Amino acid sequence: MNNRLKVLRAERGWSQQDLAVQLEVSRQSVNAIETGRYDPSLPLAFRIADLFGMAIEDIFQRG
Partner 1 sequence: MVSETAARRPVWLWGFTFFVGMFGTGFAARWFDLGAIPSMLVMIPPMLLLTPFVRATERAQAGCGALSPAGRRYNRRGMAWSFSYVLLLAVAVIGSKTLHAQGPLLWLLALLPALPVFYLLWAMARYLVEEQDEYLRMQVVNAALFATGLLLGTATVWGFLETFRLVPHVPGWAAVPVWAIGLGLGSFVNRWRDK
Binding site for partner 1 (CB under 8 A): 16-17, 20, 24-33, 37-38, 40-41, 44
Rounded to the nearest whole angstrom, what is the least distance from the CB of residue 23 to partner 1 in the complex?
Answer: 10
Nearer to partner 1, 5 or 30 (CB): 30
State the Cα–Cα distance between residues 17 and 58, nearest whole angstrom.
22
CA nearest to 31, candidates 54, 9, 59, 61: 9
Reduce the DSSP state of residue 6 to 3 states and report it.
helix
Question: Least Å distance between CB 35 and partner 1?
Answer: 9
Cβ at position 9, least distance to partner 1 in Å: 14
